[in-house]
Structure 1
């Protein structure tokens, strides 16, 4: 039975208070000051870019559409929220603060951005001010002290039970979207229409999603971040790859699925093989496992699948050692996830700084830390048929390692990626995505 979210939130704030006190001590500072962020306008125009809340702000507050607000945290003192609620008839004004979270903050409502100055600490020099340069207000200019940032971001990898619950809620919205998207694909709709079906089912507009949806039909699945969205369906539907997430209270989910139009063809069999391997990889998200090794093991598993399907003609170990596997699986096995889709401090050696290197020959891995309870990561192996990567392999000394007729047969399908969000625990991992699809 899930604990009361209000209880989880209160415990979450206790953890953030403890982390903040330690971070400020590292920086020899007295206050943490966090602007929510501001609207940014396009050059030579009066249109604003979609507002994105400062992650350091939404770590404390379930507020994602409140530009111009400020958070002040002083160890031993109740945190203060300076809440901008302007007089404005051009735009929707944020509603007055409400909900269980309000009981944990001293809340001051201001009507202009400049009015916040009188409620901020007296001496900006004694503050760690975390934010973007354009959030500056008077002498309160974001300085992002490295020692404070290093400590907070390193520990942000360890999600509180409240944060995991918010990610479960985001997953439920994402699952609704994915189911609607698959139905739209089966109905023969275009990429744009599939995307719209996803947003409608998730009940989130594109600017509310945690990242731009990847909705790729046929060979478009070979473009890792395909976001162009054709308006017309292809004359022949072969495959569908969708990488799409959803948000809840500032937290993200990140889910990828791949489908063949013909459920009985070779490509669907290849998808099924990747799915089976992916679930085995998810089972390895356990305390003490080096994420770098999980990535290298994924290469071996995928090379074995390529060999089983006759795509490569060398032993899987040889394909990995020679780099042949990287032509078919060119990205990392995944990344941390939480307040941001690509969570920060993926390479952090400690909360004092330093970096953990990627394995040699694997430049796109986004996480190199040892997994520990509380971490939530994505596991997203893939097999792709990308001309830009395969053509040099075909022309080079390793070209005989591949059966190019098999590559040509799979090329029109683009590629496969299966992605779940998985929480590391004290025991067996919790697969947030699979649980979401099963209704758990």
Structure 2
């Protein structure tokens, strides 16, 4: 575990980003990288804005996530410039002046209105790679409208998969926050709280509300755990409460944690044993996060491992190899083994063949895998195997040729519990992987 301060780590991070930006601009034939932080979007036929989300290309450079209307300018050979919007506004809280370990690395220009940014941006917009959303355009005739040149985007997003030491430390802190939430949520579950109540306990422990979390919490009791992205948050608990699946993360300095745990109310029952078996399989999968490993193969290996669990618990009657070959395993494990993680929960360039573009295809018959690249040091990925008893998938399975390979009495016994998913966030290194999630749980045991 690192003992270096964010200030020390940030200097190296900025050096890496500057070198990447210089190469990306050369690839695209531009002189300047210009990145807006993003703007507020208003709801149609209303005067309320949607929750603001910072441009990932912006927060990659500076830990600012609540500053719409600001701009970043990177010119190779010069100090990067931050154009910082600090409006005169008595309706809202005005952002404080920039402070912290990162400000000494930037030339900072404070502006009071969004249009003032034009005074501080390069004069010739045609020489700029401007990365952002269309709404960020500045100027009467659309000057400094994002052009998002593909060669620049391809290069920057491909290399964003390789996290700097600074980024890993920011993600480590996000893990700590999320684990506090998971601990509090389990306590609320065992005390009999509703899904909504568990969600509130989680947010309180993390210190972030729904708009600050990296994604909407999945808080599922009993059979709701079979819905992969269940976000309804019932206000009353079911009777009896038997199981609890929580997929919830946290944010820190623009970086995300993405953790899932499943719990049984009866710690001595068969469903707890089922959870334990999947947990053991998941830990073995995490150990496969090694340099040179094809993530697609890790996904296919996960199907074999989970099929073995189904066989061990008498849910399927065939061997693991047959369960995978026939597609039976996909009825219980219908999603991918995981994805890249960083500034976004589903981080970009998961299918990129190289920093010049191109795509690495998903394995045939596995449409929901979000990462197909070969693992390399610096990559951070999620490992999230799951087995579910989803009504729709079970109905389709029962009507298929694979129905003969299933013990339907065993399926009915597990259906009330919904399903199990275990998810850790793992760093690929030159040696053994670093499991940020297990590290955080152990520290808060």
Shorter-chain TM-score bucket reads: over 0.9
Give every structure 1 segment of 4 or more consecutive aligned residues whose post-TM-superposition deviation is greater than 6 Å: none
Deviation at 1:4, TM superposition (A): 1.7
**SS of residue paired to 1:188:** coil
Q: 1:232 aligns with which of 217, 236, 241?
A: 236
> Which whole-Å deviations, capped at 9, do the CAs of 1:329-377 have from their partners, x for residues lacking one?
0000000000000000000000000000000000000000000000000
TM-score of the aligned structures, taking structure 2 as reference length: 0.98
Q: How far apart are the structure 2 equivalents of 1:47 and 1:361? A: 43
- Alpha-carbon distance in structure 1 between the residues aligned to 2:172 and 2:101: 20
Tell me how far apart the structure 2 counterparts of residues 434 and 26 of structure 1 sit (CA, whole Å): 40
State yes or no: 1:108 paired with 2:112. Answer: no
The answer to whether the aligner puts 1:222 opposite 2:226 as a matched pair is: yes
Q: Is 1:175 equivalent to 2:179 in the alignment?
A: yes
Mapped pair 1:410 → 2:411 = no
CA distance in 1, matches of 2:3, 2:153: 32
CA distance in 1, matches of 2:346, 2:199: 22
**Does the CA-based 8 Å contact 2:6-2:101 persist in structure 1?**
no
Q: In structure 2, what is the equivalent of residue 121 of structure 1?
A: 122
Distance (whole Å) between structure 2 residues aligned to residue 46 and residue 395 of structure 1: 50
Task: Measure, in 1, the Cα distance between the counterparts of 2:390 and 2:226.
Answer: 5
Distance in 1, matches of 2:61 and 2:183, equals 32
SS at match of 1:192: helix
In 1, the alpha carbon distance for the partners of 2:402 and 2:251 equals 44
Where do residues 316-331 of structure 1 align in structure 2 (5 Å cutoff)? Answer: 316-331=320-335
SS at match of 2:259: strand
Deviates more, 1:154-163 or 1:262-271: 262-271
Take 2:164 and 2:97, find their aligned partners in 1: how far apart are those partners?
27
User: Is residue 187 from structure 1 mapped to residue 199 from structure 2 by the alignment?
Assistant: no
- Provide the residue aligned with 1:24 in structure 2: 25
Q: How many angstroms apart in 1 are the aligned matches of 2:221 and 2:209?
A: 21
- Map of 1:62 onto structure 2: 63
1:264-303 matched pairs, under 5 angstroms:
264-303=268-307
2:399 is equivalent to residue 398 of structure 1? no
Aligned-residue offset at 1:393: 1.3
Residue-pair matches, total: 440
Q: Which residue of 1 aligns with 2:87?
A: 86
TM-score in terms of structure 1 length: 0.99
| 1:3 equivalent in alignment to 2:7 | no
Q: Does 1:335 align with 2:339?
A: yes
Gaps of 5+ in 2: none
Alignment-derived partner of residue 373 in structure 1: 377
Tell me the C-alpha RMSD between the 2 structures.
0.6
- 1:257 is aligned to 2:264: no
- In the alignment, the residues of structure 1 paired with residue 223 and residue 393 of structure 2 have an alpha-carbon distance, to the nearest angstrom, of 14
Deviations 1:186-216 (CA, angstroms, capped at 9, x unpaired): 0000000000000000011110000000000
SS in 2 for 1:264: coil
Deviation of 1:387 (Å): 1.4
1:358 equivalent to 2:362? Answer yes
SS state at 2:211 partner: helix
How far apart in 1 are the matches of 2:242 and 2:313? 18
In structure 1, the partner of 2:15 is 14
Helix, strand or coil for the counterpart of 1:208? coil
- Give secondary structure in 2 for the equivalent of 1:292: helix
Structure 1 residue 99: Cα displacement: 1.1
What is the distance in 2 between the residues matched to 1:235 and 1:92?
44
1:431 to 424, 428, 435: 435
SS in 1 for 2:358: coil
